[in-house]
Amino acid sequence: MGSAERGDTVVAVGWCAAARCGRAFVSAEAVLLDGRRATTHWPACGELAARYSGIDVDADAIYVRDGPIITSAGVTAGIDMALTLVEEDHRAELARASAEHLVSPNSALHDQIRS
């Protein structure tokens, strides 16, 4: 099943479009990134810059916000990006609670860490 069929190509969040990792290429094809700063997973930054000269590719950023478009460098950077959107659209407390929920170790591992 292709990414478009899974529905995870570009996620619309209110007035914002968010693209995680390699999905920046989909956003670039849709001409959403022309004249904007963007990022993608570090091994693909050179290709993104070469294929789409109208994009200012930032290979050092974990995520880039340029107007209503936000792109992230990878899966874990996508988590940071998503938490930023939660904070902007809702409140910092909800973003913090979501982040704390994500950092929930396996209970057996948790017991080993505490020992």
Q: For 36, which DSSP code?
A: S
- Quick one: which of 34, 32, 29, 18 has its CA closest to 73? 18
Q: Is residue 45 annotated as a catalytic residue, yes or no?
A: no
> DSSP string of 43-68?
GGHHHHHHH-TTSEE-TT-SEEEETT
Contact predicate 72/11, CB 8 Å: no
For the chain, the farthest-separated pair of C-alpha atoms sits apart, in whole angstroms, at: 54
Number of Cβ within 10 Å of residue 72's Cβ equals 27
From 10, 18, 19, 21, active-site residue: 21
The catalytic site residues sit at: 21
